[in-house]
Amino acid sequence: MSSNASTLSAAATSAPDHGISLGEATRQWTKIAALSFGGPAGQIAVMHRILVEEKKWIGEERFLHALNYCMLLPGPEAQQLAVYIGWLLHKTKGGLIAGILFVLPGFLSILALSYIYVLLGKVPLVEGLFFGLKAAVLAVVVQAVIRVGSRALKNGVMRGIAAAAFVAIFFLDAPFPLIVLAAGLIGYLGGRSGIAQFKGGGGHGPASGNIIHDRDTALGEALPDHARPNLRWSLQISTVLLLLWLAPVLALFLALGPDDVFARIASFFSQMAVVTFGGAYAVLAYVAQEAVGTFGWLRPGEMLDGLGMAETTPGPLIMVTQFVGFLAAFRDAGTLPPLLAATIGAILTTWVTFVPCFLWIFAGAPFIERLRGNRALSSALTAITAAVVGVILNLALWFAIHTLFGKVQAVATPTGSLDVPVLASINLPALILSTAALIAVLRFKAGVLPVLLCSAAAGAAFILLT
């Protein structure tokens, strides 16, 4: 073994002296993965409760610092936070275990549901279940707009950024990455200028009770040796992860050509992994815009079906992209059996979506540990979160139009087209179910999972009885 490889191996296997065994950490990451329902807010809350409040492995300050960094990254912040804390506790191996376990249950669950969807989707019972899920998912997205908006839009400047983002994406068809980049730049400059409206934290941070400080935890306040910036290690691990991520993409392009469905899946979701900031609901707006409108891989209602799967299974909501890749390959299987092609599409989508998450953390976390309290970064996060409210509102309206109305007309605009519902085609059962789900989550504070399950059951009953 070369000296470089030996160095990497030693860094990955030796343990920091904090008394937490890798086996115990693996058990806790497994528990977190099994309980990671309810989107990023719920997942981060579960991690905070177990790792900060119950185990006291890390403190509030370090947890929120890691979360703020993950919120600035493209991709699912909850999974990246798991990788970050796993790395902080047990180096590279700990980060890999935490990140893989966070994704694995959801991947297997959605793969099984995808098989059921394509094989039994025309069965009335299954159609009814997904009809009910669509109605409830609309309520969940509206709840996300209200929840994130109440936290992010604290002043007129933030409300203005959210409104501008909504107008840009809904009426002007502006690319989502451009919206996030502009918001981040505005926030960064506002923070550097000391403008009060740009101050504040962000993200899905937990509501605080008694704060557990870093000094009172197993990891303590000191920076572990492996967490100190090491340019050589960062370059080595980045090179390995870049090859694991991009080599399959390049191989597919060379072997199959750029128009092959697998090459398109690999390139599109690799691009998504780089440009999709702002959490799962914002990612869905971008995926829906491209997968439905540009590539024609699936229909609008099927995006809602996929989101319903992701909402009712453990793991990141971004796992809905796996369903998109599954359907894209299933419908363009070429010489392969459709189910085999679909399975490969699901695996490929998951691979190019999540390998970059490990890259962002392992390459950047050692340097970010030294940037606690950076005002400009915090301000950029605040502005991005405000813009994401506008993007999620766009997603809510898009879902509402395609869920509550049977017909939609494309009206030409100077910058493209705008989907306008045909009012006479309103779906009253869907409207009733969505309204009931919205009342349940907003008025009675019902959990997302019970609402989705009850709505699915109601949808099945309606289809079977009519």
Asked if residue 227 belongs to a domain, the reply is: yes
Asked if residue 327 belongs to a domain, the reply is: yes
Asked if residue 301 belongs to a domain, the reply is: yes
Q: 413 lies in which domain range?
A: 20-201+220-465
How remote is the C-alpha of 377 from its chain's centroid? 21
pLDDT of residue 393: 87
Residue ranges in the chain modelled with pLDDT below 50? 1-16, 202-203, 205, 207-209
Could you tell me which residues are beta bridge partners of residue 411? 418
Asked if residue 42 belongs to a domain, the reply is: yes
Give the three-state DSSP class for 426: strand
132-163 pLDDT, tens digit each: 888 887 887 788 788 778 877 889 999 999 99
268-281 pLDDT, tens digit each: 999 988 876 666 66
pLDDT of residue 227: 73
HSE-CB for 80 with a 13 A CA cutoff: 33
Rg, Å, the chain Cα set:
22
Question: For the packed helices 22-34 and 39-47, what is the interaxial angle rounded to 10 degrees?
Answer: 150
- Burial of 54 from C-beta contacts in 10 A (0-12 / 13-18 / 19+): exposed
pLDDT of residue 6: 43
Distance CA 85, CA 206 (A): 16
pLDDT of residue 277: 66
Give the three-state DSSP class for 317: helix
Asked if residue 399 belongs to a domain, the reply is: yes
pTM of the model: 0.72
Average pLDDT, the chain: 84
Distance CA 21, CA 26 (A): 9
Residue-by-residue DSSP string for 62-88:
HHHHHHHHHHHSSS-HHHHHHHHHHHH
Residue-by-residue DSSP string for 101-158:
HHHHHHHHHHHHHHHHHHHHTTSHHHHHHHHHHHHHHHHHHHHHHHHHHHHH--SHHH
> In total, how many domains does the chain have?
1
Asked if residue 14 belongs to a domain, the reply is: no
Q: Are 32 and 231 in contact (CB under 8 A)?
A: no
Asked if residue 347 belongs to a domain, the reply is: yes
Asked if residue 7 belongs to a domain, the reply is: no
